[in-house]
Amino acid sequence: MMDLFLEAWVAGSIEFAKFSWTLGRGKSWRPGEKLRLLFACYCGARNTGSDLRVEEILRQVRRVLGDENVDLGVMTQNFDLTRGYFAGTRQVRLPDVFPPFLSREVPQYHGVVACEGSMFKSKFANALATMMIGSLGLASAQNRLSIGYGAEAGYMDPIVEKMCRRYCKDSVVITRSEESQELLSKLGISTELGTDTAWTFEPRGPEYGEKILRDAGWDGHTPVLVACPINPFWWPVKASLAKAAARAVAGAYKESHYRSIYFHKSGREVDAAYARYISAFAGAVARFRKEHPVFLVCVGMEMLDRNACERFAEQVGGGVPIFCSDQYDMYEIVSILRACHLMASSRYHAIVTSMPAGVASLGITMDERIRNLMRQRGHSHLLFTVDDADLETNLFAGLKQLCREKESVRDGIGRTVAQNLRLMARMGMYFEGFVAKRYPEFPLRSGSLSWEEYLPPLSTNLRKLLEAYDA
């Protein structure tokens, strides 16, 4: 019921914004001004993937439009958890009850760039999808730049889908998969095909990750296997005043409480499915360790993953070092991942951010993101599902196959990184075109530019990878 209230509130705000624009209220960009852009995102929850995606979008936009020409603002749910991120960008706090914030904040900018990967999906939270649709819809309602950048689309509840169709029809969305592009096109939304934006992210140097592993007991020689478990079954998060009241009065719903008035999906079926997944994941890894000498570590890409990491570590036999984003920032976490050699992950961005270092990985997926990536790599045989009844047996076989094929897997990974860097550059070209169409007098770069000039500045490692794989 509370989700419906938020959806209605956002819809009403967009309709009012349209009316205000017809009365001549609101200002557009004028030559000589800096272009003010608001980046709508899920930052400030220490979700490593979400945070670093936005970091790279900001770097790319500055490269394409010129740092001297833009004034950028980015949403965060917690200033303490994004301190040191998004250099040179104004951070603005996104409150849990967000409609008044959107109505107040969006009109202060010349455009909105929605950055969340799972942008148009009910899988994780209708509230998140509603916030993204609201940000884009409010911008387009007043003839401002309205861009979804690196988005995925999946199943949406009927009301959310109707909102998407109605309020994002004047937006442009660059998707990171053909499947998402097809779904949004059916809703009448203009799309272009792109990719994720994490490919250019550069963490702390390799010496940092190697030191952390050595401090945890690694001998510097044994292959490091990293496991990235999650709780795949407690989604979606929903807003509930009734549960919030019960928690405040009687301490109920403590384990399923996410934040404020938001609660994870809970119940016996959720608990049982989660227990089966962790048991199967840990069982497969334990069997693999008996046959292959590896140093096992566990990484939590989001603060919420700590429980999954602790349960996994306990069931696999104990003594497993855990590195979680509640204690390590995105630059540190990715450095640790890249110091590993083999990976089994249910976190999409753990796989993506480890690929530039050639970490041989397989995926245990809850949705289409890892599936699409593995298909692109040509590694669909290294894809497993979180609800597979025979997950332990199949994952054990997959780990053995990954170990046997690690060199060919790394070759496929390198080629995929090179391909996605080109796709990401094309996104920069699209973005430049969108700005030119909306604001023809904006001072864009002139002359003949190489495709790499539409990317953030590339690290030495990525340049070497491009030399090896880019044809």
In this predicted structure, the answer to whether residue 178 has a pLDDT above a threshold of 70 is yes
Q: Which amino acid is at 27?
A: K
Q: Please report, for residues 99, 173, 287, 325, 371, the alpha-carbon distance to residue 49 in angstroms, rounded to integers and kept in the order given.
A: 25, 20, 30, 10, 17
How many Å is the maximal CA-CA distance in the chain? 72
Q: Please enumerate, as own/partner, the contacts of 161-165 that have beta carbons within 8 Å and a separation of 24 or more.
A: 161/187, 163/7, 163/10, 163/11, 163/130, 163/133, 163/137, 164/120, 164/129, 164/133, 164/189, 165/189
Check residue 26 and give left, alpha or beta (phi > 0: left; psi -120 to 50: alpha).
Answer: left
pLDDT in tens, 292-342: 999 999 999 999 999 999 999 999 998 999 999 999 999 999 999 999 999
53, pLDDT greater than 70: yes
Mean pLDDT, residues 11-39 taken together: 86
Q: Kindly report the pTM of this predicted structure.
A: 0.94
Cα-Cα-Cα-Cα dihedral of 450, 455, 460, 464, to 10°? Answer: -60
Instruction: Check whether 358 has a pLDDT greater than 80.
Output: yes
Q: Is a pLDDT exceeding 80 seen at residue 357?
A: yes
Q: What is the pLDDT of residue 7?
A: 92
- Mean pLDDT across 402-417: 96
25 pLDDT more than 80? no
Measured CA to CA, the distance from residue 236 to residue 265 in angstroms comes to: 6
pLDDT at 261: 85
Using DSSP, state whether 298 is helix, strand or coil: strand
Rounded mean pLDDT of 100-124? 94
CATH number attached to the domain at 2-193: 3.40.50.11930
Q: What's the pLDDT at 242?
A: 84
Q: Where in the chain is the domain with CATH 3.40.50.2000?
A: 206-236+268-404
Pairing, β 322-324 against β 190-193: unpaired
**Higher per-residue confidence, 265 vs 74:** 74
Q: What per-residue confidence (pLDDT) applies to 35?
A: 97
Which tokens sit at 123? 């899988």
Percent of the chain with pLDDT over 90: 85
> What pLDDT is recorded for position 20?
77
CATH T-level fold of 206-236+268-404: Rossmann fold (3.40.50)
- CA 262 – CA 430 distance, rounded (Å): 36
The reported pLDDT for the residue numbered 258 is: 84
pLDDT at site 437: 95
* Residue 4 pLDDT level (bands cut at 50, 70, 90): confident
Q: Which residue is associated with the tokens 């929605």?
A: 114
Residues of each domain in the chain carrying CATH 3.40.50.11930: 2-193
- Closest listed residue to residue 224, CA positions, set 358, 326, 126, 90: 358
- Work out the pLDDT band at 1, boundaries 50, 70, 90: low
Q: Express each pLDDT in 320-334 by its tens digit.
A: 999 999 999 999 999
Q: Residue 359 contacts by C-beta under 8 Å, 6 or more apart in sequence?
A: 226, 337, 338, 340, 341, 342, 343, 413
